[in-house]
Chains A and B, each alone.
Chain A
């Protein structure tokens, strides 16, 4: 199916474990983004990527790692999960730099216990 898909939709993990959230888009959009949504904060940018092998930090990058070896995939890894990383994570893509807005995935609800 065309679009942007995130997996898993729900994830529970333990403190200290590594977890990877997947994001896949079928449009060959150059730009991809990861946001986290927390009550009282709206959505905050974690990392973004302008193309394969080009990534950069957003507002709240600490504790996260990203990679982009292929245009269509942009996985987000929590190297050692903490409870403060309990959140809803949204991946997004854009065909231009983002000036025309993003298309968001359905989100991954991550709980760290």
Chain B
């Protein structure tokens, strides 16, 4: 069975602070994929990043960066110099590769990030 844990329910920061959202996952599969989605107050789900289990390179995209560590089963997300527009709920998700069938996403419970001026 797969499981994703986002222990931080809510985080509040002041604009320009750096913030890290934690994600810990469990799976017995050797091939799997990790995702982050953003859900702004408008409610839609926005894809941010995908990582496969064989690629542990960290990734940076503008103010966003992701740290994938298989040794600790973690896929953490850092926002540098946060902005008010970053206020949203962020979901970490996991899917395992299953030949011949759909790869079903298992989501964490989400972390609500509030960025204030």
Q: Which residues of A contact B (CB under 8 A)?
A: 31, 33, 35, 40-45, 48, 50, 56, 58, 88, 90, 94, 97-104, 106-107, 109
**Least Cβ distance of A38 to chain B in Å?**
9
Select from chain A the residue with minimum beta-carbon distance to B9: A40
What number of A-B contacts does a CB cutoff of 8 Å give? 66
Give Cα A97 to B32, complex, Å. Answer: 12
Sampled A-B contacts (18; CB under 8 Å): A42-B4, A42-B107, A42-B110, A43-B93, A44-B107, A45-B105, A45-B106, A48-B104, A50-B102, A56-B102, A98-B95, A99-B103, A101-B33, A101-B50, A102-B105, A103-B47, A104-B44, A107-B43
Closest to A44 in B: B107
Return chain B residues, CB-CB under 8 Å to A107.
43-45
B8 to chain A, nearest CB (A): 13
In the complex, what distance in Å separates the CA atom of A31 from the CA atom of B100? Answer: 12
Q: Encode B83-109 as 1/0 by CB contact (under 8 A) with A.
A: 000000001010101100111111111
Chain B contacts for A97, CB-based, 8 A: 98, 101-103
Q: Is the interface of A mostly helix, strand, loop or mixed?
A: strand
Give the size of the chain B interface in residues (CB under 8 angstroms).
Answer: 26
| B64 lies within 8 A of chain A by Cβ | no
| Contact A101-B109, Cβ < 8 Å, known A33-B102, A58-B104, A88-B43 | no
Interface contacts beyond A90-B45, A98-B105: sample of 14 additional A-B pairs, CB < 8 Å, sorted by A:
A33-B104, A40-B109, A42-B4, A42-B6, A42-B109, A42-B110, A48-B104, A88-B43, A97-B98, A101-B47, A101-B50, A104-B44, A107-B45, A109-B43
